[in-house]
Amino acid sequence: MLAAVLSGLVVSVLYIPFGKYLRGRLAVVAAGLPIVLFGYFARFIPSVAAGSTIAFHVPWVPSLGINLDFRLDGLSLLFSLLITGIGSLVYIYAFSYLKGHRYLDRFYAYLSLFMAAMLGLVLADNVLLLFIFWELTSISSFFLIGFNNESAASRKSSLIALGVTGGGGFLLMAGLVWMGYAADTYSIREMMAVSPALKDDTYYGFIVALILAGAFTKSAQFPFHFWLPGAMKAPTPVSAYLHSATMVKAGIYLLARLTPVLGGTDVWMYTLMAVGGVTMLYSAFHSLFRTDLKAILAYSTIAALGMLVFLIGIGTPEAFLAAVVFILVHALYKASLFLTTGVIDHETGTRDVTALSGLRTVLVPLAVAGLLAALSSAGIPFTFGFIGKDLIYEATLHMPGLLSVVLTALAVSTNVLVLYAGFVAGIKPFAGPLPQPFRHVHLPSALLWAPPLLLALLGLLFGCLPSLVDDALLNPAVRAMAHAVSGTPLKIWHGFNLVLLLSGVTIAAGGILFWARKPSSQSESWISRFDSAAPRHVMARAAYYARMVARRYTHTLHNGFLRVYLLRIIAFAVLLLAFRLFSGGPVRFTLDHVSPVTAYEIAVAAILIAAIFLAVTTSSRLTAVVATSVIGYCICLQFVFYSAPNLAMTQFSIDTLTVVLFVLVLFRLPPFLNFPNRGARIRDWTVALAFGAVIALIAIQVLNQPFDGTVSRFYGDNAYTLAKGKNVVNVILVDFRGFDTMFEIVVLSIAAIGVFSLLKLRLTASEKE
């Protein structure tokens, strides 16, 4: 199973060296990957239907609880089959749709990466592993949405998508880690066992809030829904893939997966029902005002996602069954509608629904696909959508008391609007007379029309024979979410009852709406008046202000003047050290342990003080540098007096080289600045004196501490016996602490590379001028 998940990642990497051979006709071989994977997962249908789960475990970072744990149960299998199945069709479709595109290889690389990430996400049993794949889907979808990278709008919408889903991912990570900490395990399977304890945890509310934030951003729930319509800038195959079966369903998957762990509480249920309900009604209503086919589909997708969240929130086995059925229903009809729209766009050059009509005469198979998909989305009998809609109504009607009325009303009104959206997208472009400009339109290659037709026909097939998928796919998925399963098999006909009546009402109302209302650009501009209050604009403004604050902050703290950095660093160090020094009461020290002062030392100290005085008062930079090196040499002499020859030797060499370095760069510096500003001088004096005083105090304080000679005694005793050396300093450097030395020379090398590359880059740039 690891191979199945990783194959997409490996393939996407292989596109880097071999991609250029796979841009032309050979590109179609890319479709082999999802087809093989689909076959691989399809093999598991019988065993998973029989109730077994397939687990796979490889330790990765066991000390952190991160392991490559994969687990295939009903829910994972359903999603895996959707990902690879619809993936296969999208791969094939994209080959024709993007034929001759110069970056076709890149497209398949991103798509393979995305598919692998989705598979990993739905198969992972470890929440941290799940999170890694979750982030991978965000990143790879960023590349897919921004695939037309020459278009500024496309780049912007991919950034928005990344910002929203990435921000949600950040919160999700916090939630998952917190949950793992509370449950003392990162395995979802083990979390289920401690679910009651988790729900009683003090921080349960925080965990749920963080995890829901992740799921809601990913699944485009209100008020984070706005990235999804923007993501329609992607090539249509990408939209079809991301928004029917994969990306946005990741949040739904997460909610379904964590229902047995966190679900069943009031917080969980009411939040999900409220957010899902608002989302589905809000966005279904919005789809009324759109004229772009993809925008209509985008809003009806959000409505469907809201419906799924809403159903998971209801939390009865019936609702879970309805949700699982609806996932499949929606994937089939929405992918089909998106792919149909793609062909219409490809052949006519427009997606404006007010301009399109009569295409049934020229695009026959697509007209069939569009019609079937629209019927399924409307829930007309004998389509799979009909079964899905019935189950939804059953789930809402079985809620207690007033809640059932409210929820059913919500579901019915959303479905009416979704029916309208489906009809506009699937039927409207094909109905009516064929306008003159579209007469030249001809049917494209079968690679473009077969995938949507196949998906639409599957919707019809499952609608007529629900037993095909009932026990094989749907019930195992429900079992993964709830312990009890409703048991009743899916039926086409439930007899005359309230559910059927509601279905009829939905279809009738939607039909009337479709007949009475024509999409127009007037209504679209009318709704755009409310844009400034839309969540998209609120968040854009928030992002703008965050950027402004960051800029101001950076500008203040990081202004590019080395002297300012030095001043701040030293001032901060002084404050910190002084606080630490004086926080333990007044500083006391004695000079008892200090050895007597010799005449040499007095002489050297006098030179040192004179050099300091010269360095700070001179107006010549060269003099200042030389004076500084005199200070260095004086310190070296002190080392010599106290018999530290290694240190003295090294310090002498370093001081010499520092002077050379200074001299080399000296005449590139601006003329010596004599600060006329008294305030600045006083400030610098204060900081310098304070720093000197604090360091001196600390040095004297250190002398007063009892000297612990354990370490130096160890080195002294063992240098010769263990390392065959008499120079203890050198033995420490090359043997006892050899690792430190190794890292130090690595750091030195990095510094040299830095200087070299910075200056050489500048050289070539100036040579060009």
Partner 1 sequence: MNSTILKTAANYLLPILLLFSIFLLLRGHYHPGGGFVGGLIASIAFVLHSFTHGTEATLRLLRIHPGVLIPAGLGLSALSMFAPMISGKPVMTGLWIEEPLPVIGIIGSALFFDLGVYLVVVGVVLTILFTISQYSE
Out of 102, 588, 668, 678, the only residue in the binding site for partner 1 (CB under 8 A) is 668
- Complex with partner 1: residue 344 or 648, whichever CB lies closer: 648
738 binds partner 1 (CB under 8 A): yes
Pair 344, 351: CB distance under 8 Å: yes
Helical segments of 382-497, H only? 384-397, 401-426, 446-464, 467-469, 475-481
Q: Shortest gap between Cβ of 740 and partner 1 (angstroms)?
A: 11
| 597: CB partners within 8 A, 6+ apart | none
768 binds partner 1 (CB under 8 A): no
- Complex with partner 1: residue 32 or 645, whichever CB lies closer: 645
Stretch that binds partner 1, among 287-295, 364-372, 601-609, 657-665 (CB under 8 A): 657-665
707 binds partner 1 (CB under 8 A): no
Dump the DSSP string for 343-410: HHHHHHS--BTTT---GGGT-HHHHHHHHHHHHHHHT-TTSHHHHHHHHHHHHHHTS-HHHHHHHHHH
Residues 60-119 that bind partner 1 (CB under 8 A): none
For 247, list phi and psi in degrees, rounded to 5.
-40, -60
Out of 649, 680, 693, 695, the only residue in the binding site for partner 1 (CB under 8 A) is 649
Q: Shortest gap between Cβ of 760 and partner 1 (angstroms)?
A: 7
Stretch that binds partner 1, among 112-120, 448-456, 618-626, 645-653 (CB under 8 A): 645-653
Cα dihedral 749/751/752/758 (nearest 10) = 140
| Cα 107-110-255 angle, rounded to 5 deg | 130
724 binds partner 1 (CB under 8 A): yes
| Cα 441-445-446 angle, rounded to 5 deg | 120
Stretch that binds partner 1, among 62-70, 218-226, 230-238, 723-731 (CB under 8 A): 723-731
- Complex with partner 1: residue 617 or 653, whichever CB lies closer: 653
Q: Is the dihedral of CA 665, 669, 675, 677 positive or negative?
A: negative
Q: Shortest gap between Cβ of 765 and partner 1 (angstroms)?
A: 12
Residues 135-174 that bind partner 1 (CB under 8 A): none
669 binds partner 1 (CB under 8 A): no
734 binds partner 1 (CB under 8 A): yes
Q: What is the size of the binding site for partner 1 (CB under 8 A)?
A: 43
743 binds partner 1 (CB under 8 A): no
Pair 128, 180: CB distance under 8 Å: yes
Peptide bond before residue 586 is cis, with ω within 30 degrees of 0? no
| 667: CB partners within 8 A, 6+ apart | none
| 87: CB partners within 8 A, 6+ apart | 34, 37, 38, 111, 115, 241, 245, 246
DSSP code at position 428: G
Stretch that binds partner 1, among 46-54, 426-434, 499-507, 754-762 (CB under 8 A): 754-762
State whether residue 100 is helix, strand or coil: coil
Out of 657, 682, 696, 703, the only residue in the binding site for partner 1 (CB under 8 A) is 657
Out of 39, 504, 645, 692, the only residue in the binding site for partner 1 (CB under 8 A) is 645
Out of 739, 764, 765, 767, the only residue in the binding site for partner 1 (CB under 8 A) is 739
689 binds partner 1 (CB under 8 A): no
State whether residue 496 is helix, strand or coil: coil
Pair 521, 528: CB distance under 8 Å: no
For 187, list phi and psi in degrees, rounded to 5.
-85, 130
Q: Which of 335, 179, 318 is nearest to 248 (CA)?
A: 335
Out of 149, 151, 521, 727, the only residue in the binding site for partner 1 (CB under 8 A) is 727
What is the CB-side half-sphere exposure of residue 1 using CA atoms within 13 A? 26
**Structure-token pair, residue 433:** 């007379």
Out of 496, 561, 579, 667, the only residue in the binding site for partner 1 (CB under 8 A) is 667
Out of 14, 498, 576, 660, the only residue in the binding site for partner 1 (CB under 8 A) is 660
Out of 759, 765, 767, 768, the only residue in the binding site for partner 1 (CB under 8 A) is 759
Out of 350, 650, 704, 718, the only residue in the binding site for partner 1 (CB under 8 A) is 650
Helix (H) or strand (E) run with residue 728 in it: helix 728-731
641 binds partner 1 (CB under 8 A): no
Greatest alpha-carbon span in the chain: 114
Stretch that binds partner 1, among 395-403, 486-494, 567-575, 748-756 (CB under 8 A): 748-756
664 binds partner 1 (CB under 8 A): yes
Out of 361, 620, 656, 712, the only residue in the binding site for partner 1 (CB under 8 A) is 656
Burial status of residue 506 (CB atoms within 10 A of its CB: 0-12, 13-18, 19 or more): buried
- Complex with partner 1: residue 556 or 643, whichever CB lies closer: 643
Stretch that binds partner 1, among 270-278, 496-504, 621-629, 759-767 (CB under 8 A): 759-767
Residues near partner 1 (CB under 8 A) are: 645-646, 649-650, 653-654, 656-657, 660-661, 664-665, 667-668, 722-727, 729-731, 733-735, 738-739, 741-742, 745-746, 748-749, 751-753, 755-756, 759-760, 762-763
